[in-house]
Structure 1
Amino acid sequence: MAGSQLSSELPPLDALLKRLREEKPLVQCITNFVSMDIMANTLLAIGASPAMVHCAEEAADFQKIASALLVNVGTLSPQWVAGMEAAIGAANKLKKPWVLDPVAAGATPFRTETIVKLAKMRPCVIRGNASEIMALAGAAGATRGVDSTAESEEALALGKQLSLDLGAVVAISGKDDYVINGNSMLKVSNGHPMLQRITASGCAVTALIAAFASLAPNDLHMATAYALGIFGVAAEIAVKKGGEAGPASLRTHLIDTLYTFTEAEMESYNVSICITEPEQ
């Protein structure tokens, strides 16, 4: 792993990835219709196991067998919100890590109010783009649905305050990804601009964060950075393997790369996960 060497209880990335593939964490995904396919395939490819369980009548019970919970608010209805709240309540009671993806926060009052309510239920990690994080933190910035109108650096101050207020790791996705844990911040500089052309790629990486969080509940800061880094590096490798032909090719090669992903492959492509302290 290139970049500054930061103190962490986590093993090297290749060892953590090996552990994930051996333990196959089961991630309960309450997510939107658009993201279900790529999210499930991302988790399966990396070696985890997905379960798209959102029904209120079984969402809480499923947490008894799940390793982690992902809550993505892309598709909202009162029935879905009930399922989210039931699953979150069970995850908290069972001390299972859960991750919130505040999709399109700020777009409508119902959506924003729902996200704020869920955030108060104490997620261990929140991952969103700059506009989503700013809206969740209370900024009156503009938003275009799921598209960010701000760069990730613009959300750092509000992201830090959000992390301090909620006691959660806050990951801000963009050209550079920032992972904030109170007063500590990491920058992850991997990925490819074409990822923006693949619908729900951000949703997929949030599911990957949930899988890694289940393996390292005591080091969520680095686990989140690892997940963002591994997804970004996989995208870079996928482009070189033929993904530059277009978004559909990139999606296929991305999933294949996550399946075959090894430390040796990263080195052969001269690509590294770069985790550094951002400039203040």
Structure 2
Amino acid sequence: MSPTTQSIWNDLTQIRAQAPLVHNITNFVVMNNTANALLAVGASPAMVHSPAEVEDFVSISSSLVVNIGTLDDNFVTGMTLAMRRASELGKPIVFDPVGVGATAYRNQVSQDLLTLATPTVIRGNASEIMALAGLNAQTKGVDSLFGSDAALDAARRLSSVWSCVVVISGAVDYIVWKEQLAAVANGHPLMTKVTGMGCTATALTGAFVAVNTNYFQAATHAMAVMGIAGELAAEKKLAPAVFRSTSWTPYMP
């Protein structure tokens, strides 16, 4: 199954019309990049992680994105409170287990958060998805040592156990919902030279699940838009630093 141009455009139109507030608890490295990407597609980003206010922000948000890239105890407390509140309110949650498998701390935090509140979508690279599924996959920090297709069985396992959509990022992105599978081959190798592209894909997924309750379709659309943006920027033959900002020139009507 592959997304159609019309179905992707329908979601983008809804994002522009609704400007959903996407609440991000994400890492320091990507906050600005992901906020700009959300603005470019028409969503409204909020980068809020303080335990003192995350529950209030979840209450007024359309979706919650949780990214464990730069963990500390304060972040974990905020994530815990936010995910619990989002679950209580039935808000979609997108979970990005950045670097899971690299340390015992990340592994434990990830399992605790998943047990606390089932996410709507889990997005990670192949090593992260395999590690999260308990396959003891090797990882090189936050980078994957495997192609995305190597994690398909792990993604199916996660989808079944947690009853959620699972996205594996790679040269080909795979989106799994139990027995359903979509493959998105958009993108460009230059994207691997820019920090935070995976985190940006996670944030965009937060915008798409905010307007489309078919979460399998929404996640597939988000990955297609991510890849197409990279292709368009790569056509300009830019250096990676310039490529980063050019990828998210706002879409015009």
Name the SS for the 1:12 alignment partner: helix
Question: What's the offset of the Cα at 1:255?
Answer: 1.0
Structure 1 contact 239–253 (Cα < 8 Å) conserved: no
Which of 155, 158, 176 is the aligned partner of 1:159? 155
| Distance in 1, Cα, partners of 2:106 & 2:3 | 39
Question: What's the offset of the Cα at 1:99?
Answer: 0.4
Alignment of 1:34-53 (within 5 A): 34-53=29-48
Structure 2 contact 151–168 (Cα < 8 Å) conserved: yes
Question: What's the offset of the Cα at 1:47?
Answer: 0.7
| Distance in 1, Cα, partners of 2:57 & 2:112 | 22
Which of 161, 167, 174 is the aligned partner of 1:171? 167
Name the SS for the 2:143 alignment partner: coil
What is the letter of the counterpart of residue 87 of structure 1?
A: A
TM-score by length of 2: 0.96
| Distance in 2, Cα, partners of 1:185 & 1:225 | 10
Structure 2 contact 3–220 (Cα < 8 Å) conserved: no
* Residues 261 and 171 (structure 1), Cα distance of their counterparts in 2 relative to 1, 3 Å cut: farther
| Distance in 1, Cα, partners of 2:2 & 2:186 | 15
Name the SS for the 1:180 alignment partner: strand
Residue 192 (structure 2) pairs with residue 199 (structure 1): no
| Distance in 2, Cα, partners of 1:116 & 1:194 | 33
Which of 186, 192, 216 is the aligned partner of 2:212? 216
Name the SS for the 1:64 alignment partner: helix
Name the SS for the 1:89 alignment partner: helix
Structure 2, unmatched stretches of 5+, are none
* Residues 161 and 198 (structure 1), Cα distance of their counterparts in 2 relative to 1, 3 Å cut: same
Question: What's the offset of the Cα at 1:216?
Answer: 1.3
Name the SS for the 1:226 alignment partner: helix
Residue 78 (structure 2) pairs with residue 87 (structure 1): no
What is the letter of the counterpart of residue 159 of structure 1?
A: A
Residue 243 (structure 2) pairs with residue 250 (structure 1): yes
Structure 2 contact 119–164 (Cα < 8 Å) conserved: yes
Which of 217, 222, 225 is the aligned partner of 2:220? 225
Question: What's the offset of the Cα at 1:142?
Answer: 1.0
| Distance in 2, Cα, partners of 1:127 & 1:4 | 18
Counterpart of 1:278 in structure 2 is none
TM-score by length of 1: 0.87
| Distance in 1, Cα, partners of 2:155 & 2:141 | 19
Question: What's the offset of the Cα at 1:23?
Answer: 0.5
Question: What's the offset of the Cα at 1:5?
Answer: 7.2
Which of 121, 128, 133 is the aligned partner of 1:125? 121
| Distance in 2, Cα, partners of 1:138 & 1:106 | 9
Runs of 4+ with deviation above 3 angstroms? 3-6
Structure 1, unmatched stretches of 5+, are 263-280
| Distance in 2, Cα, partners of 1:109 & 1:4 | 37
What is the letter of the counterpart of residue 98 of structure 1?
A: I
Deviations 1:161-195 (A, max 9, x none): 11000001000000100000011111111001111
Q: Percent identity?
A: 43
What is the letter of the counterpart of residue 238 of structure 2?
A: A
